[in-house]
A = this chain, B = another copy of it.
Amino acid sequence: MTAGTEQPELTSPGTGTGIDAAADAARRVIESLLRSGDRGGTDLDTVADRLNAVADDLDRGAPDLAARMVHMWRGDGVTRHDPVTGPENAIAPPLHLTGCEDGSVEATVELGLAHQGPPGYVHGGMSALLLDHTLGVANHWAGLSGMTAELTLRYLRPTPLFTPLTVAAHQVSVDGRRIRTSGSISADGRECVRAEGLFVATHPARPR
């Protein structure tokens, strides 16, 4: 953490090259498939063949799972592969969380068709996924993190797609190993979803 006006990034920013560029492109494929559906002019069986060929090539060169798990979890920094902030995980939007001086964490993100629940709105479970992770990062930023024991989401109004969303969280209290954390997703300055979490300060061992 550096003092000053710059808010430190708490998640991996992504390099835009190599594996990160490949995951970015996979993200585009996911969204483009939903955007065109079976209404586009592209032959979809050929698309399937092209994508399967990429997966085949990747699988051929992949290390065994145990070795990959060790490599994936090396170091003690932020993860690069989680489904919320991981630049290497095409499921992740990804969220770029920064730490604020008041102890909270915050990100701005815009979600598309891959994250849709009701027509034109974010899936409630997707909001839960983003908030669970963001509460976890808020704990990390506050200095004591752990595993989710309980999470409560309150849906105040539908969360719009294709709109900049503010995802924010802060640690509320610590009582021994029990951590309480709150967060929210807002659009146009109005809260759409509120989250409250109880975390327990424990971490499963990293693979070695």
Contacts and interface: CB of A to CB of B under 8 A. Distances in A.
Interface residues of A, number: 91
A102 interface: no
A153 interface: yes
A78 interface: no
A11 to B, nearest CB: 14
B73 A119 contact: yes
A126 interface: yes
Q: How many copies does the complex hold?
A: 2
A125 interface: yes
A31 B23 CA distance: 10
B116 A81 contact: yes
7 contacts: A29-B54, A32-B59, A32-B62, A37-B88, A39-B63, A40-B62, A149-B155
Interface of A: 17-19, 21-26, 28-42, 44-45, 47-55, 57-63, 65, 67-69, 71-73, 81-84, 88-91, 113-121, 123-126, 128-133, 147-155, 158, 203-207
